[in-house]
Amino acid sequence: MKEKENEKQEEQKTDNNKERKNEEVKSTPKAPLVEGYETIRIRIKTELMSAEECERLRRITARDTRIIKDYLRIIYHYEERKVHYKGKLKSLIQSNGKVNKSLLDYLTLTTSKKSAETKVRSSVAHDFKKRYPHCSHDEFQECRNKAIWICESWKAQQRTSNKKLSRPQLKEKTPRQLIKGSGSRGTVQVHYDPDNTEAKLLLKLRDTLDSKQCGKRNNPKLKLPLAYSPHHAKKLKIDEIKTAELVYKSREQQWWAHFKKSFSVPSYQSTNPPAVLGVDLGIKKTAVAVVLNHTGKVTMDEIRFIVNKERQATIFRLEKRISSIQEALDTRIKVGHPHNQLNVKLSQLRKRLRSITEQELGFAVNQLVEFILQMKQRYNLFVSIGYPKDIRNGNKHGRVNRSLRIQLHKWCYRLFITKLKFKLHQQGFDSYRVVAVCEEYTSKTCSRCFSTKTTRSSQGRFVCHQCNYELNADLNGARNIAKRLITNVLYPNGKFKKNNILCDYLSGDFHKLKEYGNFYPLGQWLKYSSGNISFL
């Protein structure tokens, strides 16, 4: 009987193991994961804090900035020198551009306890604990990590750029990255209190600014109330927070808490036919998108015009009001009359204008992402975005009128592209699927016969005199932008042809042409044939 019971138990165990394996196979995605980090900003309610707490926050961030600057000076000082460490000569900055953390600690921090990795260090070359006696070891390491991140990012940018980049200068406050801990560990803790009506989320910062000076053992915590909203509740979970930063915006004159959150999504893989979605950015029409598929036809449900006339009208009214107040302000300054009230009005209107433009930009990006996700279900989709790189330099003073130059300088096309790339990256789109291409001559070229004998009788009407083709001008530009990605893949030129790579016009990243192997059915868009290519 006991043997039978043991056999039954073993069979149950094997069945359970098989079920677990099947569940793991079903749950694990076949496609590789797309990983990244997302920063969520929450405003700190300084109006609920006392004057002493605000002053302490200012002193903490000012001290962090000084420590980070000193760390950067030491890194730059030992950039071309070697240090005698553990019986060997080692360089602080390695060949791959990364900074050796243990060697930097060996130069800056003394230790009183012996551990497995380090011995007791009673004296160092640059003793930070003498220079900043009111700072703990954990706070020094957080400042060190921030300085290393600044140096490594500067090194990475210097490798990709053709010009010599100057070293980063920290003119504004640069606080350290606060590490969140569990329980009493970590320098920062996030506390959620649903009963608190004024601030449901509190950021408790443990700092040794005043405790060592007063001879206290327990470090007092600075409580920072946050403007927590339902929007933050959807995006932010307290368990997912890893690091935080306290940032002061001088324009807004407000403190913000930046929380860093990691995400991993299965990459977008599709067996559907290939298609390219071209995006043309504009000032009046924020974006125009069109899909070029393998059939050579475009239907009306594959076109999207993204524009919000109500928000644009409010922006135009605010800009007009600001310009009128500025004129009145100039006249009052010349005459010598008081103008404090006008300065207050100007600051209020500018804050309102900034918030509305940010809302308009976010609205347009979300609308475009929704349209891309709809087309994603039909096609194996690639996104081509037109990047007007030197459009401001080409329209300088004397070439175009003043109103157009003002509009071009207010146009946030680079921010739009970066936000769109980040949103699609969160949806599983790899970097090679979202590419920025050169937008030069796309608005002047006919998307049907590739002729430049064209005119634009109005802002929205495009006429080709070669093939008598009429179309919306923005839609014609979007089609040309999609075709430009197809030509760059199928017919590369110069060094890109030799190396079989494709270059992103905005970021400068290189992608292998093997990843665009299914583009050959889209080559019919590059041949002029009125019978094959039609527009419905």
Q: What is the pLDDT of residue 25?
A: 38
Residue 13 binned pLDDT confidence (cut-offs 50, 70, 90)? low
pLDDT value at 217 more than 80: no
Q: What is the pLDDT of residue 365?
A: 94
Q: What is the pLDDT of residue 262?
A: 83
> Domain 271-308+352-535 class?
alpha beta
pLDDT value at 12 more than 70: no
C-alpha 184/C-alpha 138 separation (Å) is 13
| DSSP-derived secondary structure for 413-464 | HHHHHHHHHHHHHHTT--GGGEEEEE-TTTTTS-TTT----EE-SSSSEEEE
Q: What is the pLDDT of residue 530?
A: 38
The percentage of residues in the chain with a pLDDT greater than 90, rounded to a whole number, is 23
Q: What is the pLDDT of residue 478?
A: 92
Q: What is the pLDDT of residue 28?
A: 39
Of 529 and 387, the structure prediction assigns the larger pLDDT to 387
Residue listed under structure tokens 């800009």: 319
The answer to whether the beta carbons of residues 475 and 290 sit under 8 Å apart is yes
Task: Decide: helix, strand or coil at residue 291.
Answer: strand
Pick the range with the lowest mean pLDDT from 428-432, 492-496, 512-516.
492-496
| DSSP-derived secondary structure for 134-203 | T--HHHHHHHHHHHHHHHHHHHHHHHH-SSPPPPP---S--PPPEEB-STT-SSEEEEE-TT-SS-SEEE
Pick the range with the lowest mean pLDDT from 211-220, 241-250, 409-418.
211-220
Amino acid, single-letter form, for residue 15: D
Domain with CATH 3.30.420.140 in the chain: 271-308+352-535
pLDDT value at 124 more than 60: yes
Contacts of 241 (CB under 8 A, 6+ apart): 180, 190, 259, 260, 261
The answer to whether the beta carbons of residues 506 and 413 sit under 8 Å apart is no
The pair phi, psi for residue 259, each rounded to 5°, is -100, 135
Strand pairing report for 534-535 and 461-464: unpaired
C-alpha 152/C-alpha 157 separation (Å) is 9
The pair phi, psi for residue 131, each rounded to 5°, is -70, -35
pLDDT in tens, 345-391: 888 898 888 888 888 899 999 999 999 999 999 999 999 999 988 78
pLDDT value at 506 more than 70: yes
Of 26 and 269, the structure prediction assigns the larger pLDDT to 269
Contacts of 153 (CB under 8 A, 6+ apart): none
Amino acid, single-letter form, for residue 479: R
- Report, as an integer, the average pLDDT of 188-200: 84
Q: Can you name the residues that pair with 266 across neighbouring β-strands?
A: 33
pLDDT value at 534 more than 80: no
- Report, as an integer, the average pLDDT of 422-442: 91
Q: Single out the residue of 323, 311, 318 nearest to residue 285, CA to CA.
A: 311
pLDDT value at 3 more than 60: no
pLDDT value at 181 more than 80: no
pLDDT in tens, 378-427: 999 999 999 988 787 767 665 667 777 777 888 888 999 999 999 999 99
pLDDT value at 166 more than 60: yes
Structure tokens at 312: 């644009």
CB atoms within 10 A of CB 399: 9
The pair phi, psi for residue 104, each rounded to 5°, is -65, -40
pLDDT value at 290 more than 90: yes
pLDDT value at 491 more than 60: yes
Residue 287 binned pLDDT confidence (cut-offs 50, 70, 90)? very high
The answer to whether the beta carbons of residues 276 and 516 sit under 8 Å apart is no
Chain mean pLDDT for the chain? 83
Q: What is the pLDDT of residue 216?
A: 52
